[in-house]
Chains A and B, each alone.
Chain A
Amino acid sequence: MNTRRSGLAPRTFMLLLMVYLLLPLLATGLYAFAENWQNTLLPEAWTFGWFGEMFKDIRFLEALWTSLYLCLITVLLSLAVMLPAVFVITVYFPCWESFMKGIVVLPYAVPGVVAAVGLIRAYSSGPLNISGTAYLLVGAYFVVILPYMYQGIRNSLLSVSAVELLNAAELLGARRRSAFVNVILPNIWPGVIVSALLSFSVLFGEFVLTNMLVGGHIQTIQVYLYRRVGESGHLASAIAISYFVFILLLSALLMRLGTLGKR
């Protein structure tokens, strides 16, 4: 089958890389199932107990729920705001696109810690005192996923040739709004879902902003995990592994949708 020969050296290096990358994951996985693991290469006894304990812990379930609904609200809000905005920019004001790109790249260049400093300063006093509330966090999350949402929506619009579609719809007598809702939206939906899922998984793993902005008041799954690390290693491993599996399933879904959308 191998049309191109892969020599010994590439194989060795890739094997080393995979060991390096997968070892921490594997260890966490083993630790989550280990009853007792000291002084031996592999654990002495196995158990599902840590997972059981995890689901019995009411604080874990609360944190999970908090994470889920905060991420969901942010993604929905972002969809509601970004869909019309990106549509208008792409279709009517292509000249503004480079400006938009500048805004959208900014969250990459500004690390979470820096963004948190600004947010805390801007909103901990004055007329809009929303520090420590979910509103501030949702706003901060909105900025975090800005690049993914913008790119995703824009790419979908371009790949279905939104401008031509719109012109055709209007030629046939559709009003602009109904053309957008009935023609454009259904066509870009698969791409938009992919970027929404990606944004969701990014937010699910977000720690810095959450911990700095609302860490004392609202516990998401990441903040909870951080708090538990010091208490029980096994339990924290179980949580970390469940979190990882969840994200993995989400990205598998994403990949599938990606293939379907391109067909």
Chain B
Amino acid sequence: MKQRQRGVILALLPFVLMVLAFQVVPLLSMLTGSFRREDGTGFTLGNYLHAVQSAYYMQAIKNSLLISVASSVIGIAAGLLCAYCITRFTPAVRDRLLMLSNMTSNFAGVPLAFAYIILLGNNGVFTLLFKQWGWSVFSDFNLYSWSGLILVYVYFQIPLALLLLYPAFYGIREQWKEAAALLGAGSWQFWRTVGLPVLSPAIFGTLGILFANAMGAYATAYALVGGNYNLLAVRIGSLVAGDVVTQPQMGSTLAVLLALSTLLAVYLNQRMVRLTEGFTSKPPRKRAWRREASAGIRAAALEEAGQ
């Protein structure tokens, strides 16, 4: 018996050590750092006070919240529409479409920002073309600003939304539609009174993931606008590994604030997923393995887009 226990502990020890060293300790260190004075000693709430009072940091927080909310809402609207459309296709076509949209989720971060610079940057292909053709509608579009960032953020939000939402549509059974139709409900009335309420936990849960995803997105914004646009993630990056002056304590404080918002969003998602599971049936059995694979890729998408 003794030997068995020793074997078990030996098997778990490396895992516990790695998680402690590279996950728990850094998070704790960040938390304590946010309560330290600028010279790294003592205990103070000053950093948080400073963050709230500073117009600069508040602007970063506001910008991040705005861009996250906007890109999540656009992403979820487009995702819902596309997820519904995708259920209208035959399984073979549907799988191909899902695969294509999955594929694009590998195209995130630096390469994605870069592709947009080629397309719509100052000397972008379309920018020059539109200028030559004299299309003035696009002349005040600036990729390195709010509208450009939204465009790029939405790009990585839609495939994720699609992937997370489309299984929920299988919870809506054809019989419900038939029953509603028999009772005299039109298609629109069915969706308003039955369809959307059934989908709502999945929608809110997905919204949480998209929000967290956008809040944490760094690589795309960094590669696109560098330090020129005041976003929370970019601000944290420059405070900690800064080009100008490093203020690790302030960086920790902002990082804690950012982490709180994403943790909250992911928590919301977990709660909603549990709610959804109650009455959602599974997609057709035949494609079960693909669902599992897509769960993995969904996670990958989450990760990559979050960079």
Interface residues of A (CB under 8 A from B): 1-7, 9-11, 13-14, 17-18, 20-25, 27-28, 31, 37-41, 80-82, 84-85, 87-89, 92, 103, 105-123, 139-140, 142-144, 146-148, 151-152, 155, 176-177, 194-195, 198, 201-202, 205-208, 211-212, 215, 222, 225-226, 229, 233, 236-237, 240, 243-244, 247-248, 251, 254-255, 258-259, 261-262
**In the assembly, what is the distance between CA of A122 and CA of B296, in Å?**
31
Known A-B contacts A17-B158, A258-B292; the reply to A4 vs B125 at CB < 8 A is no
Task: Chain B residues near A229: list those with CB within 8 A.
Answer: 110, 114, 117, 223
**B29 x A121 contact (CB < 8 A):** yes
B54 at the interface (CB under 8 A from A): no
A237 and B118 CA atoms in complex are apart in Å by 9
Residue of chain B at shortest CB distance from A159: B292
CA distance A60 to B199 in the complex (A): 47
Which of B43-51, B163-171, B233-241 makes up part of the contact surface? Answer: B233-241
| Bound complex: CA A28 to CA B120 (Å) | 12
| Contact digits for B1-21, partner A, Cβ 8 Å, 1 yes 0 no | 000100110011011001101
When the two chains form their complex, are residues A114 and B258 in contact, meaning their CB atoms are under 8 A apart? yes
Q: List 26 A-B contacts (CB under 8 A).
A: A3-B90, A6-B93, A24-B107, A24-B118, A25-B107, A28-B111, A28-B115, A39-B132, A110-B259, A111-B212, A117-B33, A118-B26, A120-B241, A120-B248, A123-B26, A143-B19, A151-B295, A176-B4, A202-B304, A205-B304, A207-B109, A207-B218, A211-B219, A222-B219, A229-B114, A240-B115
> Which of chain A's residues have a CB closer than 8 A to the CB of B29?
118, 121-122
Q: Interface size of B by Cβ–Cβ distance < 8 Å?
A: 95
The smallest C-beta distance from B218 to any residue of chain A, in angstroms, reads: 5
Let me know if B293 and A254 touch, CB within 8 A. Answer: yes
Neighbour of B237 across the interface among A106, A113, A225, CB < 8 A: A113
Total residue contacts A-B, CB cutoff 8 A: 278
Which A residues are CB-close (under 8 A) to B258? 111, 113-114
Complex interface residues of chain B between 283 and 307 (CB less than 8 A to chain A): 288-290, 292-293, 295-297, 299-300, 302-304, 306-307
Q: Which one, B22, B100, B107, contacts A119 given CB within 8 A?
A: B22
Q: B225: which A residues are within 8 A, CB to CB?
A: none
Q: Which residue of B is nearest A2, CB measured?
A: B90
**Candidates B102, B111, B288, B289; contact of A225 at CB < 8 Å:** B111
Minimum-distance CB pairs A-B, first 6: A111-B216, A118-B26, A85-B15, A10-B85, A24-B115, A84-B11
CA gap between A103 and B20 in the complex, in Å: 10
Looking across the interface, which residue of chain B has its beta carbon closest to that of A247? B106
Q: Which residue of chain B is the closest to A257 with respect to CB atoms?
A: B293
Does B262 touch A at the CB level, under 8 Å?
yes
Residues in A whose Cβ lies below 8 Å from that of B241: 116, 120, 212, 215
Q: List, in ascending order, chain B residues with CB within 8 A of A215's CB.
A: 241
A225 to B90, CA, bound (A): 40
Does residue B146 face the partner (Cβ distance < 8 Å to A)? Answer: no
Q: Per-residue CB proximity of B73-108 to A under 8 Å, as 1/0?
A: 000001001101110111001000100111110111
- Min CB distance A231 to B, Å, is 12
Asked if B266 is an interface residue, CB under 8 A from chain A, the answer is yes
Report how far A108 CA is from B209 CA in the complex, Å: 9
A177→B11 CA distance, assembly (Å): 11
Distance between Cα atoms of A111 and B88 in the complex (Å): 35
A24 adjacent to B307 (CB under 8 Å): no
B185 lies within 8 A of chain A by Cβ = no
Given contacts A17-B78, A28-B111, contact A259 B289 (CB under 8 A): yes
In the complex, the answer to whether A205 meets B106 with C-beta atoms within 8 Å is: yes
A23 to chain B: closest residue by CB: B119
Residues of B within 8 A of A84 (CB): 11-12, 14-15
Check if A198 sits within 8 Å of B110, measured CB to CB: no
Set of chain B residues within 8 Å of A194, measured between Cβ atoms: 293, 296
Q: How far is the CA of A28 from the CA of B214 in the complex (A)?
A: 24
Contact B89 A4 (CB under 8 A): yes
Asked whether, in the complex, the Cβ of B81 is within 8 Å of the Cβ of A13, the reply is yes
Known A208-B218, A212-B240; judge A114-B110 contact (CB<8 A): no
Across the interface, A207 reaches (CB within 8 A) one of B159, B233, B267, B307, namely B307
